Chain A
Amino acid sequence: MKLLKIKAYQIFANYRKPMSFNFWDSYPLPPLSTVRGWFHTTIGVNQYIPIAMSIQGKFSSVVHDLQTLIKFDRKRDKERGIFLEGFNKVFSKSPTYVVNIYDISLTIYLKAKEEYLKLFKENLLKNEYPSLGRKEDLVRIDYIDFIEPQLRKFSNIERFLIKSGVYLNKKTADLFGLSGINYRMNFKYDKELLDKTGLRYFEKKDVVYVDSGTLKNGEILFDEADQAIIDLIGDE
């Protein structure tokens, strides 16, 4: 199996949790739907491409920042504010707490049809600037290439120590007896429902964010070069 491995760095990023409107909360690492969306936009397709991924990374700290967000508002007073013709709304400003994850080193493994992965690799630095999270969360690509991961067995004698954050399938986490933060994370939305309702309804995945722990018994994909476990989440 060939995987596309991307190593990247971000100074600041907000991986916004859904439904957080007046306090922009963040996931610790980019969530599945964000990476999936990144992949799809980069290769510029308009149909769904099956994909699975492993997202890992380490950050220095979490900072709560106060930012001014521009929001659209009802027209109340003709004199004030900038009027938006097409929307029949005005601009208004609103201070909001935004969580910023700081100093993030990411490693992402992607599994999809090879032709698409090649296209992704080709296009990544071509299309505009790469960003992950919000549009303004720039990402510096340090490495992008194909790798061939190996299955690796861990035991009581040969253990693996998790030292940086990683999203694991709930099943994998349970299998290895690892605990962390349980997220029910958006993965992909239902196109049919979108066409019918104008809303995006997401298929969700149960993932566990783990950033410390020991793997003792079991088999898992392994990246020798970076000494990292790979647990692909997404389409089979």
Chain B
Amino acid sequence: MERVYLGDWLYNAGILGFLNINSHLWELNTIGDKQELKSKDESLLKFGENYIEFDIQIFDGFSERFFNYAFNQYGRYENEKKNFKEYIQDLESLKNNKILDYLNKKYFSNKKENAEILEEIPIIIFNKFEKILEGFKLLKDKLGSIPSKNEIKKDVNLLMNILKKAIEIMEKDKQEFWESDVRIYLRNIYGQKSFLNKSVNTNRFEKFYKDFEELLKEKKVKKDKKFLCISCMERKAKKDTIFDTGISKFYGLNPDVINFSWNFNPKIPLCEICEIIYFSYFAGLTLIQKDGKRAFYFVNSDTSIIDLVSNNRLLNGVLKPDLTENILLNFFTQLVLESSYQKAYFTVQNISVLELDLNNEIMPKVYSFNLSRKKAEFLKESKTKENLKQLSKDYYKINRKKGELKIYILPEVISLILENKLYFNYLNKILRMFIAYQNGSERYETNISPYKIQILNLVVSEFIKNIGGKTMSVSEKEIWVIYQEGKKLANILSEKKAENKIKSIAYKLLNSLRIGNSQQFMDILLRVYMAYGEVIPSSFIKTLQNKEDFYSIGYSFLNGLLSKQNKEVESDE
């Protein structure tokens, strides 16, 4: 068995890539709140805490899996085929004069007359097709001559036929496209190693098979007489193999930057195992489209193999559905919520996400948390986490009539925590929107309930106590007692047929909370309690002692008071 330990970030990406390429051999299971990596065949692959172990026979069929992974990640073949099919469909509906509205919208954003559509669409499609062919040499060569623009103007069928022919060729010669696309894609990433070398024009798959798979599984690798591998420091180095630009164009190490390596010696010999691990790193990256360009993301989580796998899966899941600027914040939010309780504080602090532009030799961008130890402790605490989890589906919308802005509360809270800005004024903002929405405002919408705002109140209070360095004497129990008092008062009001008063009282209370005026707050309360012949609860004495206690208690009461209005809330509790 060969053992491969976690190391530098590129190597870690390589391990993840290697696992992804061999994904048929393992699965990631979630058991309770823990994740588990399970090997499907322990004679081929085993997982250790910070290493993977595999038998050389794992390389049987590796070339094909490697190529398939690169082919699918590149995705050009399938994408273009899909595009061509769509063009044909559009041209057909053009012929039958069907659904021109749809085409008008798709190609001209509804700006054209029918006659113009009929005339211009074939040209637009033709131009697009030509542009694709420019970057798709293999297909262009196989197609031979294509009709000119003028010919197409006269007869749309010519365009349809050539598109059909393109699809036909692509399907017939899939194997060839497969090899060619993999080479184009990986050359951008790795330079000119092995089968990627410019001089290799045919049988590239064969070349890769012979250079790697065959040598590895039949143990025919030629070893260096003198050197060990500098990466694992255990296995003998492979003959004439050094870590260079053929493994990574952007890693910062090449024979010129001698001051980056010890004793000005940039010659870094590698063994065949570490080489193939490094060579697999492309498959450890998550590909996304960012500003119309491809960007690759990788989470360097080196606590354990399982964290490396599951955190990258998590990022993948976060990136796929909905791409906004906040993706990484969303990811970190999820990470905080999903990392298990026992984990070291360092884990949460240490995670970094790398963004790579593989087509340029630009250094990677590194995103991270910059979390202080105290904050990591706070976020990691199970109670905080449970509270935060409860907020995961809550959002608010602003200006919902015109181009609405939907904001999820949880990432916003996490971001405020990270920036040390979480304070009661955030509660005020959310409550204001809640009340406005209840009153039928068209500017705001929110699905948060007063009960959830109360949970938020707990998070804010705890945050201020633990991180904000403020002393607060109010306990969690007291906070809930006051919340119940608020509910009680709401009940009394509705029993006395004064339910409509709740709103105006709430507004007044909210305003005194906003400006931090505890006397005004108490004044309002006294009047209300007196008016209905009730005794004011003694817990309110604390509100006069310090500002933070006042906010915490005040908002609790307000949340309780408002909870009556929100029927679905009761089931929450």
Contact = CB atoms under 8 A, between A and B. Distances in A.
Interface string A165-196: 10000000000000111111000000001001
A182 B49 contact: yes
Nearest to A71: B257
A48 interface: no
Contacts of A22: 250-252, 363-364
B363 A20 contact: no
Interface in B519-561: none
B333 interface: no
A60 B370 CA distance: 10
Interface in A114-170: 165
A96 B303 contact: no
A184 B370 CA distance: 25
B514 to A, nearest CB: 33
B349 A62 contact: yes
A94 B363 contact: yes
B346 A209 contact: yes
Contacts of B256: 72-74, 89
B259 interface: yes
Nearest to A62: B349
Of the four ranges (under 10, 10 to 19, 20 to 34, 35 or more), the interface on chain B belongs to 35 or more
B50 A73 contact: no
B345 to A, nearest CB: 6
B372 interface: yes
A212 interface: yes
Given A22-B250, A25-B8, A180-B344, A64 B259 contact: no
A61 B349 contact: yes
B1 interface: no
B268 to A, nearest CB: 8
Interface in B359-373: 363-373
A212 B264 CA distance: 40
Residue of B231, B256, B262, B347 most packed against chain A (CB within 10 A): B256
Contacts of B354: 23
A212 B344 contact: yes
B370 A201 contact: no
A221 B293 CA distance: 57
A17 B256 CA distance: 21
A62 B368 contact: yes
A59 B302 CA distance: 19
A23 B364 CA distance: 8
A20 B256 CA distance: 17
Nearest to A194: B263
Given A18-B7, A204-B233, A23 B258 contact: no
Nearest to A70: B259
B347 A61 contact: no
Contact of A196 (B6, B11, B226, B267): B226
Given A72-B259, A87-B258, A182-B50, A59 B373 contact: yes
Interface string B236-258: 00000000000000111100111
B259 A62 contact: no
Given A28-B346, A182-B50, A197 B373 contact: no
A17 B352 CA distance: 14
Contact of A201 (B230, B366, B373): B230
A221 B431 CA distance: 56
Given A23-B9, A72-B259, A96 B363 contact: yes
A72 B258 CA distance: 6
Contacts of A89: 256, 258
B345 A212 contact: yes
Contacts of A183: 50
A176 to B, nearest CB: 14
Nearest to A184: B5
Interface in A206-223: 209-212
Interface in A6-25: 17-23, 25
B228 A96 contact: no
A95 interface: yes
A87 B354 CA distance: 33
A197 B51 CA distance: 28
Given A20-B9, A62-B350, A196-B226, A179 B250 contact: no
Nearest to A170: B49
B399 interface: no
A94 B362 CA distance: 10
A178 B267 CA distance: 39
B265 interface: yes
Interface in A83-101: 87, 89, 94-97, 99
Interface of A: 17-23, 25, 28, 58-64, 70-74, 87, 89, 94-97, 99, 165, 179-184, 193, 196-202, 204, 209-212
25 contacts: A18-B8, A21-B251, A21-B252, A25-B300, A61-B373, A64-B367, A71-B257, A71-B260, A72-B258, A87-B264, A89-B256, A89-B258, A97-B363, A165-B346, A181-B302, A181-B350, A184-B6, A197-B226, A198-B265, A199-B265, A199-B267, A200-B263, A202-B233, A209-B344, A212-B344
